[in-house]
Amino acid sequence: MELIARLFLSFCFLTLSGLTFAAESGTPVTRVTVREDDDVILPCSLDTNENIESMLFDWVKEVPRKEVFMYRNRNHYNNGLPGQDVEFKGRVSHFPEELKYGNASIRIKQTRLEDNGTYTCIFPDIKPSEKIFRIELVVEPVLKIRNFPGAAPKPYVTILKEKGLLECEVPGASPKPTVEWRDSDNKTLPSKTVQDEEEHGRFHVTVQTTVTEPGCYHCVATQMEKWHRISSEICVHHEQTVIVKEGDDAILSCSPKTKENIESKPFSWTKEGPAGQKKVFLYDTSNNDLTGQDKQFKGRVSNFPEGLKHGDASITIKNTKVTDTGKYICSFSHLQPKRNAEILLLVDALSGTGMIKAAVFSVICGVIGFFVAV
């Protein structure tokens, strides 16, 4: 059984304000604000989390009406479907891996001031009545100190499907820019150029690098001839994913990197969720009053006493339930940072080749992170 958990991890340059999604109304229910030239995510998702890979959904911009993006049973504008407004050609994409969770969000690249307006996401075939969501996009103008012809635009950075593979794309620059990946200490990272093309005197350069540690990285495009330098940042957040069938036991692993003896060191496990944190497990030899465990986990969670001397703070959750799906945090109060491990637990309610219905969203001011073991 192949179950792939790829979740929205944070988006670059995205600010959301207003109410959460609701049914059709006379005013936009969600406002999205973005800086000119930055990319933006317009969110749209069914409350049921049902699979929409074979459904129809349509994105339009209102007043005047313009076709932005249409998806129909695995076909869309970027895949030959006709009818997209010329203003959005080559600038709009969706998230194919998220369709199975009911996510019809789209990304608009390099926003322009004329992108301002109200956008509608429509599911016309859902019964008994079509689903409609509205988003107001506000593009804030940016004062451009340098406006040299051919100056490299802000690099477009993303994390590819491979774990830790970062890609940076700089289109339409002249003269050819030097494109580098750098870490948070501004050290240049080893990278490879996967695209280096010239068209009408403009260069399109794409560079990739592989990182193994969580943190923030930035791609820098430099044109010394123009005294021009511009960069974009992306942050990688690592998580371990554990997948089990409902009713099976799940082991969530956690250990300080030092592998020190933690028999006398307190540590705790919590589960994050929309209603806040739930206490899953607490180990503390100096505190006899270990109250506060959420009733969802009472009598179902245990640790490995023999493993404590080797730094093993792992726990077992017995007889897992679908409601156990979510993000779990292992924390050591004597370490900095206190948070030591983040683990995503997915409990499959179906046997055989069934699909996990649960999805967990983590929106941060940064980027969507792919999750690997700590």
pLDDT of residue 92: 93
pLDDT of residue 222: 92
pLDDT of residue 316: 95
pLDDT of residue 305: 92
pLDDT of residue 7: 35
pLDDT means per 10 residues, the chain with 374 residues, are 36 36 50 88 87 91 90 73 83 90 91 90 81 89 61 87 80 93 89 92 93 84 88 76 89 83 90 82 78 90 92 93 89 68 80 35 30 29
CA distance 68 to 81: 12
pLDDT of residue 274: 67
Which residues make Cβ contacts (< 8 Å) with residue 26, sequence separation at least 6?
none
Full strand arrangement of the beta sheet holding 56-61:
15-18, 30-35, 131-140, 117-123, 56-61, 66-72, 75-76
pLDDT of residue 147: 52
Residue with tokens 């993000």: 327
Q: Give CA angle at 360 (319, 94), nearest 5°.
A: 140
- Residue 69's φ and ψ, nearest 5 degrees, are -160, 135
How many Cβ atoms sit within 10 Å of the Cβ of residue 161? 9
CA distance 361 to 326: 10
pLDDT of residue 350: 57
